[in-house]
Structure 1
């Protein structure tokens, strides 16, 4: 409710009047109370002054001798709401006369022992000053006045002490509070009513404009607001109507242009975007909307030419407005062609940009280039070595030991090229599914033990500690024995090679969720996170020089992945630099049917 300006206006108006009435009420009540009490004090002082001045018994110096006459005097002067005491100035101020109902008990008592007498006022009056004070005793508000009476020698011979009940005063004040409270409620009621009327006169035209604007937001642009005044609200209505007319005209122009562009662009196979000189998108066909993730409200977006390598576009340089570039968008490669278009004034209004998808061709070309480069690089080193050693051997002055050593190197490099060619042929057969798998039922545990026995010498040379955990009753798998053995041998060999001397290699073989799992874990040098996603790519090496020194071709893991996936399995590598690497192989369990 309070989100409405009408109610906020009423509440503020209400609070202003309420605060004003409260402040006025407090001020009036306080002043009335002070005035009433001051009137009572003035009356009490006037009465005490008359008693002291005109009573011959009080003007005499011997009050004790005239005590009875003084008692009659104060009884005559004291009203029902007042109590008058005559206190003699002795060593102990003594009450010699009183108009109190308990007069018989207090005559002759010390004034300081009476609960209705304020000792501080008595002492102050004995000093020759009229003392006044107000206090509440037994829930009764009383006004106290102590009036000094002087003897002929100018000394205070006693005081007249009067208390007056203020109930009537506070009754008058409370009645005034009631009147002011009722007046406040009446004023607040009138305030709310007037505030509602004033707020309605302001908010109703605004509500009308808001309702019309809502209709326009829903697509109904034939909206006009009734102008009821010439003030600011009326000016707002006039501007709204003017805006509606301009908007209708603009939308009609846009619809006409959009219809033309839709017919042309929607049936094109390539993505097409039209932008103006400010970079705002004028139009885009469905392919471009999906490609550039423009959404339905692409007209509200600004196209950044730098995102598609067209940052050199300059509308003042005609030669920069036409051409083509190769760019990558969302991991796809496009050939982007662009050319300017002209507006109705025959000026360059913007650009037409066409996106032609060449991702497949680009990837094939890159793969071909990378493959040729990798193969050439792998063959270049051994060929160069063989050629240089062969040229040296052709000389006549080579001794037999050097000749034997050179021939050993040539033989080693020939073996290296043989391994590379063999791996390439194997990958080719896997790619074209020409590999003839000879699947048999085997035990993965037995294969692991055979491989370890073959690598035992290498393990001992590097001083590694081997931890072997093979569970019992693991189901057999139906696989190509040579292929799976090649995979496991390759991975264990990598763990041995890339683990520093005296390392730990842990091999686990168990069944989990219907798969036979082989886990090979080491505490070697590990693989950086950025390299792990490419580790199964062909010819990819983390440390190329070191890998070649250890005899790798860069194809082992690629072949391993192809073999495992050909057996409907899965291979995963997890690694942390300087902590170690774990390779997990999963093969589906199967039993040969008899």
Structure 2
């Protein structure tokens, strides 16, 4: 049957509607595929964030609601990442600072578990590497520290505690515990090792006591003989004898003060080294001649031996003279009557070596390491035989100024042996 115009129109309209519906379906299908791809991209970024990869991706989130939500979440995560990085840098700086501190620092949380222990605290308290997260009462063996930490955790008052390390009683610590209340209760322990300060204080007190003792002896003599002169000024013989004693004691005090001042300059590094060729033979023999009368009075002998290669040395002649003189004086003072002192100079292993040996009683093993201390006496029950008690300490410092070494040992046959080793020249 022939188609009418109306029929053709209806067919055209139907075809158009069908095409429109097909186009709409295709568009919605394409949008669904695009939405699926965007959701998959967002999920992929979220998975990377969950794994700790906060590097910024570059997907197109779109301008609809889903895109705006995705961009907002991405910005929040990136901001959190920046804050986490900043906290990590701050923590690294804090750990570096704590590791470099000489003070021990220890942090305990409110449950009493160790949260932080720096290297100094681990070393002072002998803590094991796995002590973190363990109860402090198990890790710390010192009852005083445990008590103070417990008091701080309980909110009680704490005070500075001076104590000795349990496993090393020679060390002295000052510990301070403070409670933490800003972010949950806890406690922070800070420990200062004051062992060296205590040693320095002891040395200072011993030094003051020794100086007072060394000055008191001549001052007592000067005062006593001066009072005797005032009581009987007419006795000429007694006056001359008393004045000689006063003069001798005054010289002793003067030597002590000079030695103290020189020792202070040496310790402060204020001694200037003037290098020049030194005639070792002349120096050694001159010093031996100076002490010959004192040695002869004690029936002692002083022998000098200088090898040809050691006859000349590039060094500070005045300081070397003082080194040898103090060593020889020490030998003469502590060698019994009838003993012998031998001074020798040789070159050994490319270095100048000076030795001063005596035939005395030697030095006790416990005293060998201390004979170079100021005012140290090997036999404390006996009065000092002579000198100021600073000679060997000055020797040690002078040798160090000349970049050398000095050692003391006992000889197999008896007696002490002091050996000074110096470079042959300023460049050696």
TM-score band by shorter chain is 0.5 to 0.7
What is the correspondence of 1:230-249 to structure 2 with a 5 Å cutoff?
none
Of 496-505 and 320-329, more deviation after overlay is shown by: 320-329
TM-score if structure 2 supplies the norm length? 0.63
Q: Could you tell me which residue of structure 1 aligns to residue 191 of structure 2? A: 355
Deviation at 1:454, TM superposition (A): 2.2
TM-aligned CA distance change 1:336 to 1:463, over 3 Å: same
Q: Over residues 489-527 of structure 1, what are the superposed CA-to-partner deviations in whole Å (9 max), with x where a residue is unaligned?
A: 111121122111222323332111111111111221222
Q: 1:449 aligns with which of 285, 297, 300?
A: 285
C-alpha distance in structure 2 between counterparts of 1:339 and 1:560, whole Å: 49
C-alpha distance in structure 2 between counterparts of 1:463 and 1:380, whole Å: 31
CA contact (8 A) 2:281 2:311 kept: no
TM-aligned CA distance change 1:384 to 1:443, over 3 Å: same
Q: Over residues 112-142 of structure 1, what are the superposed CA-to-partner deviations in whole Å (9 max), with x where a residue is unaligned?
A: xxxxxxxxxxxxxxxxxxxxxxxxxxxxxxx
Q: Could you tell me which residue of structure 2 aligns to residue 558 of structure 1? A: 393
CA contact (8 A) 1:469 1:507 kept: yes
C-alpha distance in structure 1 between counterparts of 2:297 and 2:114, whole Å: 69
Of 565-574 and 446-455, more deviation after overlay is shown by: 446-455
TM-aligned CA distance change 1:319 to 1:581, over 3 Å: farther
CA contact (8 A) 1:275 1:283 kept: yes
Secondary structure in structure 2 of the residue aligned to 1:297: helix
Deviation at 1:442, TM superposition (A): 1.5
Q: Which runs of 5+ in 2 are unaligned?
A: 1-87
TM-aligned CA distance change 1:316 to 1:437, over 3 Å: closer
Q: Over residues 161-188 of structure 1, what are the superposed CA-to-partner deviations in whole Å (9 max), with x where a residue is unaligned?
A: xxxxxxxxxxxxxxxxxxxxxxxxxxxx
What is the correspondence of 1:67-146 to structure 2 with a 5 Å cutoff?
none
TM-aligned CA distance change 1:546 to 1:576, over 3 Å: farther
TM-aligned CA distance change 1:406 to 1:568, over 3 Å: same
Say if 2:142 is the partner of 1:305. yes
Q: Could you tell me which residue of structure 2 aligns to residue 579 of structure 1? A: 414
What is the correspondence of 1:456-535 to structure 2 with a 5 Å cutoff?
456-474=292-310, 476-535=312-371
Secondary structure in structure 1 of the residue aligned to 2:309: coil
Secondary structure in structure 1 of the residue aligned to 2:308: coil
C-alpha distance in structure 2 between counterparts of 1:315 and 1:560, whole Å: 53
Secondary structure in structure 1 of the residue aligned to 2:377: coil
C-alpha distance in structure 2 between counterparts of 1:311 and 1:372, whole Å: 38
C-alpha distance in structure 2 between counterparts of 1:316 and 1:428, whole Å: 47
Say if 2:252 is the partner of 1:416. yes
Q: Could you tell me which residue of structure 2 aligns to residue 284 of structure 1? A: 117
CA contact (8 A) 1:272 1:353 kept: yes
C-alpha distance in structure 1 between counterparts of 2:123 and 2:254, whole Å: 49
TM-aligned CA distance change 1:397 to 1:584, over 3 Å: closer
Q: Which runs of 5+ in 1 are unaligned?
A: 1-258
C-alpha distance in structure 2 between counterparts of 1:311 and 1:529, whole Å: 41
C-alpha distance in structure 2 between counterparts of 1:389 and 1:492, whole Å: 32
C-alpha distance in structure 2 between counterparts of 1:584 and 1:570, whole Å: 8
Larger radius of gyration: 1
CA contact (8 A) 2:396 2:406 kept: yes
Q: Could you tell me which residue of structure 2 aligns to residue 569 of structure 1? A: 404
CA contact (8 A) 1:527 1:577 kept: no
C-alpha distance in structure 2 between counterparts of 1:277 and 1:544, whole Å: 56
TM-aligned CA distance change 1:438 to 1:341, over 3 Å: closer
Number of matched pairs: 325
Q: Could you tell me which residue of structure 1 aligns to residue 176 of structure 2? A: 337
TM-aligned CA distance change 1:353 to 1:436, over 3 Å: closer
C-alpha distance in structure 2 between counterparts of 1:277 and 1:552, whole Å: 64
TM-score if structure 1 supplies the norm length? 0.47
Say if 2:164 is the partner of 1:325. no
CA contact (8 A) 2:275 2:426 kept: no
CA contact (8 A) 2:409 2:418 kept: yes
C-alpha distance in structure 1 between counterparts of 2:294 and 2:94, whole Å: 67
C-alpha distance in structure 1 between counterparts of 2:369 and 2:407, whole Å: 10
- CA RMSD, Structure 1 to Structure 2 (Å): 4.1
Q: Which has the higher contact order (CA 8 A, sep 6+)?
A: 2
Secondary structure in structure 1 of the residue aligned to 2:140: coil
Secondary structure in structure 1 of the residue aligned to 2:354: strand
Say if 2:383 is the partner of 1:383. no
Deviation at 1:362, TM superposition (A): 4.7
Q: Could you tell me which residue of structure 2 aligns to residue 206 of structure 1? A: none
C-alpha distance in structure 2 between counterparts of 1:451 and 1:509, whole Å: 14
C-alpha distance in structure 2 between counterparts of 1:319 and 1:412, whole Å: 68
TM-aligned CA distance change 1:467 to 1:396, over 3 Å: closer
Q: Could you tell me which residue of structure 2 aligns to residue 37 of structure 1? A: none
